[in-house]
A and B are shown apart, each in its own frame.
Chain A
Amino acid sequence: MAIIYLVLAPVLGGLIAGIDRRITARMQGRVGPPILQPFYDVAKLFEKEDVTVTPSQNFYILSYLVFMAVTGALFFAGEDLLLVIFAFTLAHIFIVLGAYAAFSPYSYVGAERELIALMAYEPMIILTAVGFYLVTGSFYVGDIAASQIPVILYLPGVFLGFLTILTIKLRKSPFDISTSHHAHQELVKGLTTEFSGATLGKIEIAHWYETVVLLGIVYLFFGFNPLLALVVIAVAYLLEIFIDNTFSRMKWQMTMKSGWGSAAILGFLNLAVLYYFYLGV
């Protein structure tokens, strides 16, 4: 599974990105780019000249890509979810370090905003893992996915909380504060401002890996019925595109409030109820 993931996840992630751009265009009354456009973009980036100013930044971005791939490989190998989350966070620390290494005010702002985003979504991700443990009695992705317990019925709050931070993670409005798919002229290009050519291409590929892992976590809520899980993943992603196109970007305070708010209210309350009345497996 892990090897299949390493090979197919960029393909799948790129296709999702392409469909995303097409649907976004249609929502705005445009024709939109070809479905394969993200692949053309990345292939082009690898054709461009290398204009790196600080060589260390390329090392950090390579680490970002590698750890994002490791995250997914661990996830699809059915390993410990806590380890997956740890590798996931580490990958993001690397991209932040890369942006800091570039010595540019724009990428500094981007790096700081990415750290805020990291802080905002992290509690909810941990609570998601705890929720899976309380319901299925295991932190192992393999056990959770194979579990016949309808996890979603026990964790509706956690699921909604996870959808909230999914918006942060997929870099969708209103939470695309560190870098965005759309706002190319704005400060929010921050995190990627100083990266160009092949390095930027690696960031894109890492983001495709990331998308697949995140949608994989959505799957875990519906592991008892794979078909239903796939339908929910499609609906969840469509909802994200819809939110992206109907909201404007908000200040970073809103990202913090939404991330921690959903963790404290939806996530924590859900787990508290589960803990006191159901007492787990």
Chain B
Amino acid sequence: MAYLKKSPWLLHYDASSCNGCDIEVLACLTPLYDVERFGIINTGNPKHADVFVITGGINDLNRQVVTNIYAQIPDPKVVVAVGICASSGGVFRECYNVAGGVDQVIPVDVYVPGCAARPESIIDGIVKALGILEEKRAKMKEQERSA
């Protein structure tokens, strides 16, 4: 059954964001957008999370952190890169200390561009991610069955 889509729990990590996208992510939880009506909860614990939301680009300091958090999230999981920095590195792309977007270290499923990404597009991106999450769950189940 597809309960995963009805109860996605988010983990939000600020890689090296300027806080613009972070504020927009948190705005999704306010009464105006209220993502909890879709069953979305902003959890702080990778072991409880299904959707990994990252804002900001990857640099040498957070490379380890991002891969570590990603490894701790139980399957099935999806990664959503929020904001142009997380998607490609943005204006910091050419910086000597920036590796680029999140996809340089972990596989990204959905890119939400924008500077800062608007709450509407973040919600849209998460809903897209839910479809991928469901696909991954079905695939996982199939593998379990064949194994």
Contact = CB atoms under 8 A, between A and B. Distances in A.
Q: Which one of B4, B34, B43, B47 has the highest number of Cβ atoms from chain A below 10 Å of its Cβ?
A: B47
B48 A185 contact: no
Contacts of B45: 184, 189, 192-193
Interface stretch (A2-10, A35-43, A169-177, A258-266): A35-43
B42 to A, nearest CB: 6
B137 to A, nearest CB: 6
B41 interface: yes
A30 to B, nearest CB: 4
B22 to A, nearest CB: 12
A137 interface: no
B76 A49 contact: yes
Given A44-B3, A47-B4, A47-B137, A184 B37 contact: no
B47 A30 contact: no
B74 A197 contact: yes
Task: Summarize A's interface: helix, strand, loop or mixed.
Answer: loop
Contact of B41 (A29, A31, A184): A184
Interface of A: 21, 25, 28-34, 37, 40-41, 43-44, 47-51, 184-186, 189, 192-197, 200
A50 B39 contact: no
A31 B37 contact: yes
Interface string B4-38: 10110000000000000000000000010010111
B140 interface: yes
Given A43-B1, A47-B4, A184-B45, 13 more contacts: A31-B37, A33-B38, A34-B37, A37-B6, A43-B3, A48-B75, A48-B76, A184-B42, A184-B43, A189-B43, A196-B47, A196-B74, A197-B74
A44 B6 contact: yes
Contacts of A40: 3, 6-7, 39
B44 interface: yes
19 contacts: A25-B37, A30-B34, A30-B36, A31-B34, A31-B36, A33-B39, A40-B6, A40-B39, A43-B3, A44-B4, A44-B7, A44-B50, A48-B76, A50-B74, A51-B72, A184-B45, A185-B44, A192-B45, A196-B47
A255 to B, nearest CB: 22
B47 A51 contact: yes
Nearest to B33: A30
Contacts of A51: 47, 72, 74
A189 B74 contact: no
